[in-house]
Amino acid sequence: MLRPAKPDNEAERLRALQRYDILDSAPEAAFDDLVAIAAAICGMPMASVALIDADRQWFKARLGIEDPQTPRDAAFCAHAILQPHETMVVPDARADARFRDNPYVTGAPGIRFYAGAPLLDADGLAVGTLCVMDGEPRTLEPQQQAALQALSRQVSALLELRRTSRALRLQLQERAWYEEQLVKFSDALELANADLNEQARLDPLTGLANRRALVAALEQASAAGRPACLALLDIDHFKAINDTHGHPAGDEVLVQVAATLRATSAGHGLLARHGGEEFAWLLPEVDLAQATLQCEYAREAVAFASQALPVTISIGVSAHRPGDTVGEWLQRTDAALYAAKRGGRDRVQAA
């Protein structure tokens, strides 16, 4: 194991970290949310906001990691801050001389893949990283790496907001003025998180792509001029589930159906939550007959997976036609879905 060197500006970097007054602070939902989003986008079981102190790595937020801190000498992130303007990616730690005999590689949690985007203060000093990890060798798609970098900038902005809020708390004497400023910062943070969720293009309940991501994928598929099919999948009698068992039970059904569809799709195409109880499945490089057959498999899988509540889905599927707009393609598929419902539900209808 190669111990990480310390940056030339280490003293200045540590002063920047201390200005945040964040080490050993209590967990905060805003940081936890950003870590959860990073893990979801990159498809990783472990993620953290790691801050590099003089002799330790301390986690402000962590997912899939037990220890609240680790020695700096064994920290992947202590290497990552040495290149503050680059994301450090380690595809396989056992094949990397820096980490092959690292105790966190040879022992728990068994890190094999690592990617860390540095967290920079206003002067460009790296105080830590937003990182994702896996127990298997991996790679990051370019869009995942770009998203991780975008999320690291959001963490840095959150640190600055937190520091400014603390400075105000120490300086302001008038309670009303202080509360007004705090509300402004809270509103700014909510807007930033709302924009971040939109940018992430991820449905927070099911973990599938959201409608914005679906429309972008449909536009790309339409422009490509390659064979593609679109399926719209609707949970039968979902309103009755909510009315009878309550919205928490309805949410659980949505999560269960999403998980079943994800398993059935086996990574083929794009699955998205189209809205409410309706899902969409973009199937590239297949004709209508193949898409219909795959939809039949999905329909049967959902019915078979139902446990506490009987759940079935109706599906409409259509092939892209040359010259189709996204709206026309969606409209034709939606018409097929309603035909499936009128035909008795729990069935697949091809347009």
Q: Write down the domain spans for the chain.
A: 10-200, 211-350
User: Within 13 Å, how many C-alpha atoms sit on residue 157's CB side?
Assistant: 17
Cis peptide before 310 (omega within 30 of 0): no
Question: What is the model's pLDDT at position 163?
Answer: 85
Quickly count: other Cβ atoms within 10 Å of residue 95's Cβ: 11
The dihedral sign for the CA sequence 236, 265, 113, 139 = negative
Q: What is the mean pLDDT of residues 195-215?
A: 80
CATH of the domain spanning 10-200: 3.30.450.40
Q: Over 90: is that where the pLDDT of 341 sits?
A: yes
d(CA 13, CA 21): 14
Question: What is the model's pLDDT at position 62?
Answer: 97
Kindly report, residue by residue over 153-190, the tens digit of the pLDDT: 999 999 999 888 877 766 665 666 667 767 777 777 77
CB 1 within 8 A of CB 72: no
Per-residue confidence at 333, pLDDT binned at 50, 70, 90?
Answer: very high
Q: What percent of the chain has pLDDT over 90?
A: 76
Kindly report, residue by residue over 260-289, the tens digit of the pLDDT: 999 999 889 999 999 899 999 999 999 999
Question: What is the model's pLDDT at position 201?
Answer: 76
CB 130 within 8 A of CB 119: yes
Assess whether the region 10-200 and the region 211-350 belong to the same CATH fold. Answer: no
Q: What percent of the chain has pLDDT over 70?
A: 93
Q: Over 60: is that where the pLDDT of 81 sits?
A: yes
d(CA 42, CA 310): 33
Question: What is the model's pLDDT at position 194?
Answer: 62
Quick check: helix, strand or coil at residue 278? strand
CATH of the domain spanning 211-350: 3.30.70.270
Question: What is the model's pLDDT at position 225?
Answer: 85
**If you average pLDDT over every residue of the chain, what do you get?**
91
Q: Over 90: is that where the pLDDT of 192 sits?
A: no
Q: Which tokens is 5 given?
A: 């060197």
Question: What is the model's pLDDT at position 174?
Answer: 62
d(CA 149, CA 155): 10
Q: Is 277 a catalytic residue?
A: yes
Per-residue confidence at 87, pLDDT binned at 50, 70, 90?
Answer: very high
Which is the catalytic residue, given 252, 277, 278, 285? 277
Per-residue confidence at 136, pLDDT binned at 50, 70, 90?
Answer: very high
Quick check: helix, strand or coil at residue 182? helix
Question: What is the model's pLDDT at position 179?
Answer: 73
* Helices H / strands E in the chain, number of each: 11, 11
Q: Which tokens is 147 given?
A: 């998203």
Q: Which of 53-57, 184-188, 312-316 shows the lowest per-residue confidence on average (mean pLDDT)?
A: 184-188
